[in-house]
Structure 1
Amino acid sequence: MLKTITPEIRKAIAQQAKRELARRSYRDYVEYVHHGHYRHFRHTELICEHLQPIADGEQHFIMIEMPPRHGKSMTVTETFPSYFIGKNPDKRVITAAYSDGLATKFGRVNRNKFNEFAPEIFGVQLSESNAATKDWGVSGRNGGMISTGIGGSITGQGADLMIIDDPIKNMKEAQSQLIRDNIWDEWEATLSTRLHDGASVIVIMTRWHEDDLIGRLLARSPRNWERLRLPAIAEDEDDLLGREIGEALCPELGFDEQWAEEKKTEVGSRTWAALYQQRPTPAGGNVFKKEWFKFYVMDQAQKREWGLSNDVVVLPKIFDKQAQSWDCTFKDTESSDYVVGQVWGKKKADFFLLDQLRDRLSFPATIKAIRNITDKWPHAKAKYIEDKANGSAVIQTLQHEINGIIPVEPEGGKEARANAVSPFVEAGNVYLPHPNICPWVNDFIEECIAFPNGKNDDQVDGMTQALNKMQTAKSNPLDRYKNMLGRR
């Protein structure tokens, strides 16, 4: 006679089945240990799929790049160590984060999960004598977890699994060369030296800067890294989740396409590309993108002859104001920076680069060049020259010979000045001579899109100085009628 299966027995069987699934599958374990307060999405299931082989004994080096508030830490750093140690109670885990406080949190939540669930799922227990939040172990076994902030002490500790979760705190730290160097030094001199033979590494980041830890690992590490780059909005045909271009990563959490458009407007293109698309150097440029720049020709005949699109405009004959902008470095050697002199015209909201000189010049040659440009462009009344280093000597030499020389005290760094004018370029208000007229324009654009990581930035400095000053300077109404351009 068959014994009746009571609801209690059925519930016990179901619970036992869940425990067995949690033991076998990290995907199920994450759900199980959060007491129903965790929900999987496509991207979290993909992450679990890549972490499972590590728990099963394989060696992997994985980078996970995700936008904020999409569950990366909860899915990985706050949970995976407890699972890894449960399955491998003689193995060690080290987790590192930007602060000691965050690292302590990672240690505590994993310890608590291990203490609550390891006995029933894996048959092992937390050590009573070694149960600190930042350093805990397994009773009667060699395994355990230690957590540290970047730069903290892990002397004598080794790892079979190392997780580095957001080593950079914020944008301010990301922009600091010193902090990025310190993080890299910590990886090279400390963290990487603690890896046991066959150890795995997981690096989890929201990207802030192209030269961050992931950027340097991609450029310098000899290890075979698996890269899980999960942008907020799909932009590649081979998207890891099989998304269509333009499809959101997790609309279930409210991060849909409409949210993306609003967030991009709110934070700007550069921050959006880095923080949300995990592409700190935007396609086609960093501060400036190639497609933002517009072109002009001299007349309609040129436009028709070359079959140019409607985006190419005819150069205005009258400008509201014109100005020169100079970036002076006169060492006159093959390795020195260039002297750049530019002439810009402004017509309502639009800026036009009318002329440029770029060469390695001595001091006398620089003075002569400024005189020549002044003769060539008499309506460029203002001559903006950065008042530091070589520029100061130029100002002192010419201030009583050429009128309109305006010393410019640089405010903020080069990137800050470039970011201040990047909206003008993005909005399509900056026009360059068409490359058919001036082939050097191609090099100009390449320097702009490589900034701030390119070899040279003199043309960018000239442009940002001109646009910043011309945007705020008041124009003389008489100049609007006098600045008639002839062919030059």
Structure 2
Amino acid sequence: MSFVERCFVTLTPAVAFQDNWHLHAIAHHLDLVRQGKIRRLIINLPPRSLKSIMASVAFPAFVLGHDPARRIICVSYAADLAAKHANDFRAVVEAPWYRRVFPGFALSRLKNTEAEVTTTRHGVRLATSVGGTLTGRGGNLIIIDDPIKPADALSEVRREAVNQWYNNTLLSRLDDKLNGAIVIVMQRVHMDDLVGFVTRQQAEPWTILTLPAIATHDQIIATGAGRSHTYRTGEVLHPAREPEALLDRYRQQLGSDVFSAQYQQEPVPPGGAMIKRAWVLRYDAPPQRASRSQIVQSWDTASKGGAENDWSVCTTWLIENNRFYLLNVHRGRHDYPELKQKALALAAQHKPTKILIEDAGTGTALIDELRRMSGSSIIRVRPERDKQTRMSIQSAKFEAGQVHLPRQAPWLAPFEAELFAFPGSRHDDQIDSVSQALANGISGYTLDGV
């Protein structure tokens, strides 16, 4: 990391360097590649997170400083971007401080161009763009930095061109197929981008470092030998540079789909997967509750309580004339006493006519407690089919225009990210609550207590 900081100061002397734990995590994983301990590495992180300086400039300079005989191919989506990274690399290795740190490194006079730099030890840093010619060229380290720009992400032709160039051209350029290393550093832009492509192939195991702008689940991330950072749910990646309020503005400007992909590293299919975005109707204000209305709460509880376990979710719906208006989503990790208090508070707030609770895990105990303490009708629900089948049955209500979501709500963006990505979403607890509510205690479930 001290080397990265020195490179940053050399390239942007007027900008203050802002250290953060995620930079140490990136540096640690890249150095494991240099040491031969990782052969395939994917790093996914938001834009403007210092990835290009670290991966395309500092890392090749660090590798060649330690071993001037290494042969490195650096790839970007465009020739002008590849050339910029190459010029930044040259600025670093020609700096007096670099020469002092790595006295064994020297540039060869035989080849020192914008695209290619060679060392006196026959090492190489070759810059190219996706689709560029690599006939007769090879390396023992390939670095791919943003192989497709976000503006091209929706073009199937361009995505496929990137993926096939990687498969048919770039892979064959490794000098040593067994020990050569490949690093992909990019923001996610589509489910079928290069990261989606290589991970679906499952031809070889990849080490994946995913750094969303806002943590979606707890994870322990190595930041050095014997060091780690616990990235907790809801934590912002680099609050000094991009606080949560700024990320919220990005979400509003970009839309949920783009923000989910580029900032959260969770791309969803354009338009939705099982549930299509175009099927959902929107409301500014829900209908007034009338005598014929139902207020239904649907609970999907975690199998166990506590912060390290799954989410417990309650969706609250107003149902009228066979139309479903989603009023509220509560999602949290609770131990059982807290779960019970939250269920009672939500019941008091919305005064549901009935509460559906899956009879599993902590839900079983919650059913008995709420029957004693709540004035609502408590329905014990036992799902009869798998999650995907249950949601598939209820998808007809979305397609028929019976499901209404609010135009704005603080819980809406993460809810939609899960809804429109299902069944490919990371989590499905909100989905379980939705399908249970839309069934309204009838289709696909065995009931008790109606």
Tell me the TM-score normalised to structure 1 length. Answer: 0.56
Instruction: Report if the CA contact (8 A) 1:293-1:431 is conserved.
Output: no
**Equivalent in the alignment of 1:46:** 25
User: Which of these residues, 313, 317, 320, is aligned with residue 318 of structure 2?
Assistant: 313
**Cα distance change, pair 317–118 in 1 and its aligned pair in 2 (3 A):** closer
Instruction: Report if the CA contact (8 A) 1:59-1:199 is conserved.
Output: no
Count residues in correspondence: 309
**Equivalent in the alignment of 2:136:** 156
**Cα distance change, pair 108–221 in 1 and its aligned pair in 2 (3 A):** farther
**Equivalent in the alignment of 1:409:** none
Flag structure 1 segments of 5+ consecutive residues without an equivalent.
1-26, 319-339, 351-417, 419-429, 442-488
Write the distance in 1 (CA, Å) between the matches of 2:402 and 2:29: 55
Listed as ranges, the matches of 1:349-388 within 5 Å are: none
Q: CA deviation at 1:264?
A: 1.6
1:421-461 residue CA offsets vs partner (Å, 9 max, x unmatched): xxxxxxxxx999931477399xxxxxxxxxxxxxxxxxxxx
Q: CA deviation at 1:79?
A: 1.5
Instruction: Report if the CA contact (8 A) 1:87-1:122 is conserved.
Output: yes
Alignment pair present for 1:133 and 2:137: no
Instruction: Report if the CA contact (8 A) 2:46-2:187 is conserved.
Output: yes
Q: CA deviation at 1:204?
A: 0.8
Write the letter of the residue equivalent to 2:240: E
Alignment pair present for 1:275 and 2:262: yes
1:201-221 residue CA offsets vs partner (Å, 9 max, x unmatched): 110111110110001111104
Write the distance in 2 (CA, Å) between the matches of 1:248 and 1:35: 25
SS at match of 1:78: helix
Instruction: Report if the CA contact (8 A) 2:295-2:316 is conserved.
Output: no
User: Which of these residues, 170, 175, 184, is aligned with residue 196 of structure 1?
Assistant: 175
**Equivalent in the alignment of 1:86:** 65
1:128-181 residue CA offsets vs partner (Å, 9 max, x unmatched): 221102111002x1201101010111111111111101111123x111111111
Listed as ranges, the matches of 1:7-406 within 5 Å are: 27-35=1-9, 37=13, 38-116=17-95, 117-123=97-103, 124-139=105-120, 141-171=121-151, 173-197=152-176, 198-238=179-219, 240=221, 241-253=229-241, 255-281=242-268, 303=294, 311-316=316-321
Compute the RMSD of aligned alpha carbons. Answer: 4.0
Q: CA deviation at 1:312?
A: 3.0
**Cα distance change, pair 169–126 in 1 and its aligned pair in 2 (3 A):** same
Of the structure 1 ranges 123-132 and 143-152, higher mean CA displacement relative to structure 2 is found in: 123-132
Instruction: Report if the CA contact (8 A) 1:300-1:314 is conserved.
Output: no
Write the letter of the residue equivalent to 1:176: S
SS at match of 2:175: strand
Q: CA deviation at 1:300?
A: 6.7
Flag structure 2 segments of 5+ consecutive residues without an equivalent.
222-228, 300-313, 324-395, 408-419, 421-433, 446-450
SS at match of 2:180: strand
SS at match of 1:137: strand
Write the distance in 2 (CA, Å) between the matches of 1:271 and 1:69: 15
Instruction: Report if the CA contact (8 A) 2:74-2:142 is conserved.
Output: yes
Write the distance in 2 (CA, Å) between the matches of 1:208 and 1:167: 10
Write the distance in 2 (CA, Å) between the matches of 1:317 and 1:55: 61
Highest CA radius of gyration, 1 or 2? 1
Q: CA deviation at 1:33?
A: 3.1
Write the letter of the residue equivalent to 2:244: E
**Cα distance change, pair 300–183 in 1 and its aligned pair in 2 (3 A):** same
SS at match of 1:164: strand
Write the letter of the residue equivalent to 1:264: R
Write the letter of the residue equivalent to 1:315: E
Write the distance in 1 (CA, Å) between the matches of 2:102 and 2:75: 25
**Equivalent in the alignment of 1:411:** none
Instruction: Report if the CA contact (8 A) 1:31-1:39 is conserved.
Output: no
**Equivalent in the alignment of 1:358:** none
**Cα distance change, pair 40–300 in 1 and its aligned pair in 2 (3 A):** same
SS at match of 1:223: coil
**Equivalent in the alignment of 1:439:** 443
**Equivalent in the alignment of 1:368:** none
Identity %: 26
Write the distance in 2 (CA, Å) between the matches of 1:29 and 1:305: 58
**Cα distance change, pair 270–304 in 1 and its aligned pair in 2 (3 A):** closer
Write the letter of the residue equivalent to 2:233: I
Instruction: Report if the CA contact (8 A) 2:281-2:403 is conserved.
Output: no
List structure 1 runs of 4+ shifted beyond 4 angstroms.
285-289, 292-296, 299-310, 340-347, 430-433
**Cα distance change, pair 221–305 in 1 and its aligned pair in 2 (3 A):** closer
